[in-house]
Amino acid sequence: MATPSPDLWAQLPPHKLRSLARAWLDEDCPFAEAAAGAVGRAPLRAQLLAKSPGVLAGAPFAQAAWEEVGCSVTWLLAEGSRLPAGRTPVAAVEGPAAAVLLAERAALNAVGRCSGVATAAARAVEVARGAGWAGAVAGTRKTTPGFRLAEKYALAVGGAEPHRPGLGSLVLLKDNHLAAARAPLEQVLEVARRAGGFTQRLGVECGSVGDAVRAAEAGVDVVLLDNFTPQELHRAAAAVKASAPQVRVEASGGIGLENLPLFLGPHVDVVSMGCLTHGAASLDFALRVLRPDEEP
């Protein structure tokens, strides 16, 4: 029996969805809006259309924006659905006319951005699985300020690992931490382990095979091999696994869809890719107002 997938929408705190929706609406409409006065508060029905092929994501965020102004949303396609080329109906929106249009741009921006990230994530996962590699394709913290929760969620919808949501979710010592500490690697690791306590895993970024093996032998949970060439990466990963098989090896730095297969190997557990968020192109969505006698 297959293990059921987690309910990604249920993982999003409702109060956080509401606060994000309010922030986006405040940004877009901080004062009275004259165009709303022209359309009034009569009931209105509209259709959310996808205009780009890809993976649908971002429904919780778009729905939160419309619900914040008193509208309701009925989704016609599930999160993670593949969107074909052309104009595809994905949701029906109902509410006071001024309110439907007030939240339109915030909702479309959210679903467009999330769908773009999910599409990029799905492509990367497909490349990895097509190469016969079963490790984790992950995002990074290279996210849009104020939009991290949505982009991390979208990575998961696309089948990738969101990676750590913030600095505190993994004690990760990167090159600048090690440079600032001005102490031997083993000493810095021990201080960090004590600071994090028993509940947190410990990782360290390494720039050489020697440092990677030293970190593994010091008992870290994750060794991050950053900006290695594919050849150097696989040699370092093999050395880490030979020294400490339980340590997870993560590859990062300069990895994109075109060169991803070069970084996949039997000793690499995770490949993290910043381009899944900072390089993803948003999908195009539109809102079409329906005639009174028209079905969504």
Q: Domains in the chain, please, with CATH?
A: 9-120+281-289 (3.90.1170.20), 131-278 (3.20.20.70)
pLDDT at res. 263:
98
195 C-beta neighbours (distance < 10 Å), count: 10
- Rounded CA-CA distance 211/208 in Å is 5
Window from 168-182, 220-234, 243-257, 264-278 with minimum mean pLDDT: 168-182
Mean pLDDT calculated for residue range 284-295:
89
Q: What CA–CA distance (Å, rounded) separates 115 from 153?
A: 10
Q: Are strands 54-55 and 270-272 parallel, antiparallel or unpaired?
A: unpaired
Any alpha helices (H) in 135-183, and if so which ranges? 148-157, 175-181
pLDDT in tens, 179-234: 898 888 889 989 988 988 888 999 999 999 999 999 999 999 999 999 999 999 99
CB 287 within 8 A of CB 47: yes
Q: What's the chain's average pLDDT?
A: 94
pLDDT-derived band at 2 (thresholds 50, 70, 90) equals: low
Residue 1: predicted pLDDT: 60
| pLDDT over 70 at 264, yes or no | yes
DSSP structure class, residue 161? B
**pLDDT reading at 168 higher than 90:** no
Q: Would you state the pLDDT for residue 30?
A: 92
Mean pLDDT of 49-73: 98
Q: Residue 294 pLDDT > 80, yes or no? A: no
Whole-angstrom distance, CA of residue 237 vs CA of residue 225:
8
pLDDT band at 21 (very low <50, low <70, confident <90, very high): very high
Compute CA 19 distance to the chain's CA centroid, rounded to the nearest angstrom: 19
Is it the case that residue 246 has pLDDT exceeding 80? yes
Residues forming the active site: 142
- β-pairing, 222-226 vs 202-206, is parallel
CA atoms within 13 A on the CB side of 218: 23
**Residue 6 or 48, more confident:** 48
